[in-house]
Amino acid sequence: MASSIKDVATRAGISIATVSRAVNTPERVSAETLARVQAAMDALQYRPNALGRQLRAMHTGLLGVVLPSLANPVFAECMQGIEDAASVTGQRVMLMTTAYDLEREARAIETLLEQRVDGLVLTVADAAANPHLDRLDAEHVPYVLVYNDTVGQPRIPARCCVTVDNRAAARDAIRALLAQGHKQIRMLTGTLSASDRAALRHDGYREALEAAGIAPQPPVEIDFNADVMLPAELARLLAPPRPTAIFCSNDRLALLTIRSLREMGLRVPEDVSVIGFDGLAMGQWLMPTLATVAQPHRQIGEGAAQALARRIAGEVVPSITLPHRLLHGGTLARAPAAPASLSVVPSSLTSDTQGASR
């Protein structure tokens, strides 16, 4: 049984109030008593009980974090940023993951609020249409969104998002492709309707192409969690007019694409250029390095924790748009004079069903 303030008081032969002062405001305690308290605390291995303190104080110094999954390095890095920033100000962090499941999201928020976190950092599928956020607003719970991007959207009141400018970032990616002479640029994305930022990235894709006088092809949507590309999907991705470059809405998809292309005998970047989105550290360990639009995940997390701290303090905090950075990696090269021909239908287009059947 852990010892309490009472035990310390008894042992030091003083009142609990003085022990409390010794712990929290030692300057208001005489040197002599302070020493006695110290001795007692050491002897008893006293460790203040945060629960008692928090119950009394009506706040906890706890931040609740609700993210889809740590298996995605994007969120893992962001979480690290949150933790870093929180630890600087002595806040602690409670994490719950949701796998984008609305019901788990609800439970997570509820649990965190029962624990009386001072505020929440969260990522949801679509921030403009999330019932839980409406409730948080109604209950005046301080919260900050990460990655969700409602900045351009008309909302009153606006939600505090810490994010990059997804649309502009996507435009930059496409422009980098255009600058290398690419005209046929296809987009590969996770389910558009399931992610506000994916939709925004698609907008950027369209805009950049249209500004260049090129008619964008419809994006190829594939299941967010797949770790193989189905033959049908690959076929759609390469359907005529054969693309010389592919813009993927995230790095994971980009890696998957590169692999699929190579398996069917296409060279990256000689035959097809590929650019991703996220800037996973890992992409830069590869050879060739992955061309991508890097998001400052760590800073997104840190920024969110800081913004949240201010919201908790009662400030009105606007959304924060952090700069993205185009990484001109080795998977991006000049467009080939003529698209590589696929004389033979590669095996992966016909027989790779077994690997894909999970």
Partner DNA sequence: TTGAAAGCGCTAACAC
Partner DNA sequence: GTGTTAGCGCTTTCAA
Binding footprint of DNA on the chain (CB under 7 A) = 1-2, 4-6, 14-18, 20-21, 23-24, 28-30, 32-33, 48-49, 51-53, 55-58
Nearer to DNA, 13 or 213 (CB): 13
State the pairing for strand pair 185-189/161-164: unpaired
For residues 218 and 213, give the distance between their C-alpha atoms in angstroms, rounded to a whole number: 16
338 near 183, Cβ under 8 Å? no
- Of all helices (H) and strands (E), which one includes residue 35? helix 31-44
Extract the tokens encoding 341.
């021909």
Site size with its own copies, rule: CB under 8 A: 52
Nearer to its own copies, 32 or 139 (CB): 139
Residues linked to residue 274 through DSSP beta bridges, in sequence order:
246
Nearer to DNA, 29 or 62 (CB): 29
Interaction between residue 236 and its own copies (CB under 8 A):
no
The least distance separating its own copies from the CB of residue 36, rounded to whole angstroms, comes to: 22
The least distance separating DNA from the CB of residue 131, rounded to whole angstroms, comes to: 24
Q: Which listed option, its own copies, DNA, none, makes contact with residue 23 (CB within 5 to 8 Å by class)?
A: DNA
Q: Which listed option, DNA, its own copies, none, makes contact with residue 227 (CB within 5 to 8 Å by class)?
A: its own copies
Q: Which listed option, its own copies, DNA, none, makes contact with residue 225 (CB within 5 to 8 Å by class)?
A: none
For residues 176 and 179, give the distance between their C-alpha atoms in angstroms, rounded to a whole number: 5
Nearer to DNA, 20 or 80 (CB): 20
**Between helices 131-138 and 102-114, what is the axis angle to 10°?**
20
b/e sequence 207-230, b meaning 16+ C-beta within 10 Å = bbbeeeeeebbebbbbebeeebbb
For residues 66 and 141, give the distance between their C-alpha atoms in angstroms, rounded to a whole number: 14
Q: Which listed option, DNA, its own copies, none, makes contact with residue 263 (CB within 5 to 8 Å by class)?
A: its own copies
Selected binder of its own copies within 9, 18, 36, 83 (CB under 8 A): 83
